[in-house]
Structure 1
Amino acid sequence: MNNNYAEKYQINRIMAGLMVGLLIAAFDYSIMSTAMPNIINSLNGIEFYVWPFSAYMLTSTISIIIFGKMSDIYGRKSILVAGIIIFIITSIMCGFSENMIKLIIFRGLQGIGGGILISLPFVMVGEIFSQNERAKYMGILGSVFGIADVLGPILGGVVTDTLGWRYVFFINVPLGIIALILIYNSIPNFIHDHVKKVIDYRGIILFTLGLSSMFLGLTFTGQVTKHPPALIVGLMLMSILMFITFVLVENNADEPIIPLHLFKNSIFNVSSIESFLASAIMFSGIIYIPLFTQGVLGMNAVNSGFIMIPMLLSLTVSSVVTGQIISKTGKYKSLVIIEFLITILGVALLASMDEYIPYYMLILYSTILGIGSGMAYNIFNVAVQNTFSIAEIGIVTASMRFFRNIGTIVFVPVFGFIMNFSLNASTIGSNTTQTLIVAIQNIFYLTLILALLGLIISLFLKETHLCESSSDKTDDDLKYDKTI
């Protein structure tokens, strides 16, 4: 930990505050999946089933970049506290929703706070800890996702069955208050004096319109039979136009929300692409292994959830261990190559599954994928944080989370399209089990291509050795402020 702060703030208090703040957002991803069947029954909204997820994902992805930049201007702690407050208030609004339309709107607002909570803790770890300590604490922080993925569905089921689905949202209130107290009292605020207090409104608007159009276009593509092709094409063309205009505007902006000079750095570019691919690969397993266990092997939802626990635990453990290894060795490139080799093995094995696979083999295959996916959680954060100055840690770390989300946004509908196309094009006949096996195999074949591509790209990742002293060379750019 940097000497300026080590005597004033204990590591355990800092990490507790950041982990609880991250936990309430991480839980939201996993706990909602269990509660949604009850929600749609209560609010009579089966046709809007995916939209509470979609609205949250869209706004959280947008807010990652926007508030990552805003935290450069107003301080990390200030924005993080604001994110918790937004998340608490909107959770209450979601809990009192009277129909699906209101829930979708409130979920969209909740995503603003969620995007802040899911990204800024990683920024603050990069800023508070020295280079050779960052990876270790990144791994510990990343383990929160594994905890949420394991406990979220179980907690969601218990809360929904005993108290009702509305308490899935209300439970965020006490957790949020705890996080607010911990963060307010234990974490320093960092302010960069050299950053102009200028908000790039044009960039924010264009970025939001571009990403929203792309998101809707891709989502509708996965449901092409329900939406006119002209609408999908129009949305994608609008997205392209907005992003082109965004690049032109950002080139001339005083304080762009995404500084385009970042893309001149090869480590940033490679890490962005790898984060994008790693997220898509991980979600192929998270989404389609449960479908395989239920649709092909005939498990119920509860047992299917238990099958996933080893994968999610291995994801958590590998995230922590990878951070420890980087912290001790100061190197990360070899781990990126190993990560994609493990991922390739896991995906290849999953693509070979059929209805005769023993349960223990399915657990083994999914666990291998979990190990590879967990390694990817923090490697690229460390790589870019080591490349850029302290003053740019906020935007580069937020960018890595942004590209992970984009990987999910792009490939989840692509996987859905492959699933629907495979089912419709099947020549197997009335054997629905065999048809579903082929469809899931096709998805894992695409995932295997993505993993191979990730391995090839990893060879181009440059490596700079982590060292204690280099982390302090830009501390003069940073002002410490205890206040909010």
Structure 2
Amino acid sequence: MSHSSAPAAAPLSDNGMTHREVLQSLTGLLLGMFVSILAGTVVSTSLPVILADLNGDQTAYTWVITATLLATTVSTPIWGKLADLFDRKMLTQLALVIFVLASAVAGFSQDTSQLIAMRVVQGLGAGGLTALTQIVMADIISPRERGKYMGLFGAVMAVGTVGGPLVGGFITDSINWRWNFFIALPFAVVAVIMIQKTLHLPKLAKRKVSIDYAGIVLLATGVSTLLIWVSQAGHQFEWASATTAWMLAIVVAALAAFVVVELKVTEPLIPLTLFRNRTFTLGVLGSISVGVAMFGTSVFLAQYMQLARGANATQSGLMTLPMMAGLLIISTVVGGVITRTGKWKRYVVTGSVLLTVGMFLMGTIEYDTNFFLVSVYMFILGAGVGMVMQNLVLAVQNAVSPQELGVASSGIAFFRSLGGTVGVSVLGATLGSQVTERMGERAADLGAAIAALGEQGKEIAAALAGGSIPAVHSLPEGVRVIIESVYGSSVASVFTVAAPLGFLTILAVVFLPNLALSRQTRQQRMEADAQKAAVETAGAEGAAESLGGSPRAVESGAAGSVK
């Protein structure tokens, strides 16, 4: 009896691919994801410079940010549905091309209108990359083995999120802000080529497809109007106003019509039957507060670092590293443990608790809180997000039918983005009112500090009266301490308001069905389901033939049994 020597690369037990082959398949996908994150974050530190150069106002500033979030949120479920109908590899490359071309054109913008229009197109591409990355992973890797690869996505997310603002600040200071929009181009070209060469996905069975155009229009109308209302209310018009009334009327009418359409069309954009699946419904609820934690912290932590601790844009990016470290390290470690043991629920529940605790702890910070303590709080919050965010998607993908995997995955991403976008807008309004209130309380102290500065104080007073705040780190100490204390406690109050949402996540994940993780990829599950259906059909036909073909035998058998 002969024994063959161990192969150089043992095949994975679940899909027959070696670890190296899986990594090769994921390389282009990871690079594409890095491109989208980099291109999205690289402009964050240079936006004030960009808007000043293009003569934009505060409204334009808001829309440059909101336009991308809005388009990403609306387009995510559309891409998810398309992934269930068409070639997912081609769709991934298409999303990447749309995203990067829009970014390149944005670099040539001559006014804010052109910039905002291109940011909308960027968002359409980003929605595709957000949805398709998770879906393609399910094609290549089974739920049981997916955990150990989640760390790679966490690493890419952390590097892109932290590195983007640092690179953007350097490019803006040393070259020109327009190059922020061009930096992703070479990476995108390489990503498209690598996806073409290394990403090998199983072919979808050919079938007649119908696109739910009415659903797309109604969902886009309803969600866009909702997000525009939330982002503009309190600034462009009052919360209680005629504008609010007619915008909410459009939201309700469009979304009600969307539900009616989805119940009738053959290929619904978001099959409402998915909400019969307990895992999907609870996953949606849990994702909303994760979105607020993920999007909100990135926005308000930067403001805390710059306005409450006197950091510049580059320093503020470095100071948020503890949160990214928590997300990266814990998601990588937990992912490996889930793959090894097959146990996932305990980690999602633990993560939801850490997320909630982290939010409450961040609600206690002040401008002079020991930075080591702030770093610990950020690490806890990052660890919670890292344990919950990807593993909620994993649980949902594991629980739905393979035919609905695309819309289910993008559905979770959609509600996470929706929760994050609405949450950031509402929390931003909260921050504004808190700053106004606290500035009023410290008006006498601030006036005295400014008066003590003489001529220099007049310039600072004029800037503050105009609603703008000079670079805090450059202010004289007497004024700086007051501004920092106001913003420190105001940002903390934002986290205190958001923290109770964490209890929603805890409740949602506690009641998630603790299903065993499948060892089959999407294609293997579809083939197994097809074989099972064929066997059941053949068995039913065989039983019908035997009953119909020899009735006397059946009767005599029945008579014999009576005797």
Q: TM-score range by the shorter chain?
A: over 0.9
State which of 490, 510, 513 in structure 2 corresponds to 1:462. Answer: 513
Q: How does 1:435-474 map to 2 (within 5 A)?
A: 435-468=486-519, 472-474=524-526
User: 1:475/1:158 Cα in 2 relative to 1: closer, same or farther (>3 Å)?
Assistant: farther
- Please say if 1:428 is aligned against 2:441: yes
Moved more, 357-366 or 133-142: 133-142
Extract unaligned runs of 5+ from structure 1.
Answer: 479-484
Q: Distance in 2 between matches of 1:422 and 1:473?
A: 52
1:408 maps to a residue whose letter is G
Q: Given that residues 218 and 257 in structure 2 are in contact (C-alpha distance below 8 angstroms), is that contact kept between their aligned partners in structure 1?
A: yes
Task: Give the SS at the match of 1:10.
Answer: helix
The CA deviation at 1:398 is 1.1
Q: Distance in 2 between matches of 1:210 and 1:291?
A: 31
The CA deviation at 1:244 is 0.6
User: 1:104/1:469 Cα in 2 relative to 1: closer, same or farther (>3 Å)?
Assistant: closer
Q: Given that residues 296 and 420 in structure 2 are in contact (C-alpha distance below 8 angstroms), is that contact kept between their aligned partners in structure 1?
A: no
Question: 1:122 matched to which residue of 2?
Answer: 134
Q: Given that residues 279 and 513 in structure 2 are in contact (C-alpha distance below 8 angstroms), is that contact kept between their aligned partners in structure 1?
A: yes
Could you tell me the TM-score, scaled by structure 2's length?
A: 0.80
The CA deviation at 1:222 is 4.7
Question: 1:265 matched to which residue of 2?
Answer: 277
Question: 1:88 matched to which residue of 2?
Answer: 100
**RMSD value, Cα:** 2.3
State which of 199, 206, 211 in structure 2 corresponds to 1:199. Answer: 211
Question: 1:27 matched to which residue of 2?
Answer: 38
**CA distances 1:335-382 after superposition (whole Å, capped 9, x unpaired):** 121112212222222111123311211112111111111212211111
**CA distances 1:251-303 after superposition (whole Å, capped 9, x unpaired):** 00110111111111110011111111111023332222232233223233332
State which of 143, 149, 157 in structure 2 corresponds to 1:131. Answer: 143
Question: 1:364 matched to which residue of 2?
Answer: 376
The CA deviation at 1:145 is 1.0
Question: 2:115 matched to which residue of 1?
Answer: 103
Extract unaligned runs of 5+ from structure 2.
Answer: 1-11, 444-481, 531-563
Q: How does 1:129-168 map to 2 (within 5 A)?
A: 129-168=141-180
**CA distances 1:427-481 after superposition (whole Å, capped 9, x unpaired):** 6332554443442232111222111232222221111011425863323679xxx
Q: Distance in 2 between matches of 1:192 and 1:477?
A: 14
The CA deviation at 1:205 is 0.5
Question: 1:409 matched to which residue of 2?
Answer: 421
Q: Distance in 2 between matches of 1:343 and 1:7?
A: 35
User: 1:134/1:183 Cα in 2 relative to 1: closer, same or farther (>3 Å)?
Assistant: same
Task: Give the SS at the match of 1:50.
Answer: helix
**CA distances 1:149-169 after superposition (whole Å, capped 9, x unpaired):** 121111112222233111111
Q: Given that residues 393 and 412 in structure 2 are in contact (C-alpha distance below 8 angstroms), is that contact kept between their aligned partners in structure 1?
A: yes
2:365 maps to a residue whose letter is M
Q: Given that residues 398 and 518 in structure 2 are in contact (C-alpha distance below 8 angstroms), is that contact kept between their aligned partners in structure 1?
A: no
Task: Give the SS at the match of 2:352.
Answer: helix
Question: 1:482 matched to which residue of 2?
Answer: none
Q: Distance in 2 between matches of 1:146 and 1:158?
A: 19
Q: Distance in 2 between matches of 1:8 and 1:346?
A: 35
State which of 8, 19, 26 in structure 2 corresponds to 1:15. Answer: 26
**CA distances 1:164-196 after superposition (whole Å, capped 9, x unpaired):** 111111112111110000001111244432754
Q: Distance in 1 between matches of 2:16 and 2:403?
A: 17
Could you tell me the TM-score, scaled by structure 1's length?
A: 0.93
Question: 1:45 matched to which residue of 2?
Answer: 56
Q: Distance in 1 between matches of 2:67 and 2:362?
A: 30
Q: How does 1:160-179 map to 2 (within 5 A)?
A: 160-179=172-191
Q: Distance in 2 between matches of 1:228 and 1:93?
A: 39
1:92 maps to a residue whose letter is A
Task: Give the SS at the match of 1:414.
Answer: helix
**CA distances 1:287-340 after superposition (whole Å, capped 9, x unpaired):** 222322332232333322221112112212222222212211212211121112
2:368 maps to a residue whose letter is Y
Identity %: 29
Q: Given that residues 14 and 519 in structure 2 are in contact (C-alpha distance below 8 angstroms), is that contact kept between their aligned partners in structure 1?
A: no
State which of 336, 360, 364 in structure 2 corresponds to 1:324. Answer: 336
User: 1:300/1:166 Cα in 2 relative to 1: closer, same or farther (>3 Å)?
Assistant: closer
User: 1:393/1:425 Cα in 2 relative to 1: closer, same or farther (>3 Å)?
Assistant: same
- How many positions carry a matched residue from both structures? 478
Q: Distance in 2 between matches of 1:337 and 1:222?
A: 36
Question: 2:362 matched to which residue of 1?
Answer: 350
Task: Give the SS at the match of 2:310.
Answer: coil
Q: Given that residues 99 and 122 in structure 2 are in contact (C-alpha distance below 8 angstroms), is that contact kept between their aligned partners in structure 1?
A: yes
Q: How does 1:207-226 map to 2 (within 5 A)?
A: 207-223=219-235
Task: Give the SS at the match of 2:499.
Answer: helix
User: 1:225/1:8 Cα in 2 relative to 1: closer, same or farther (>3 Å)?
Assistant: closer
Which protein is bigger by CA-based radius of gyration?
2
Question: 2:561 matched to which residue of 1?
Answer: none
Moved more, 350-359 or 227-236: 227-236
Task: Give the SS at the match of 1:33.
Answer: coil
**CA distances 1:200-258 after superposition (whole Å, capped 9, x unpaired):** 11011101101111110111125255788322332122111101100000000110111
Q: Given that residues 267 and 462 in structure 1 are in contact (C-alpha distance below 8 angstroms), is that contact kept between their aligned partners in structure 2?
A: yes
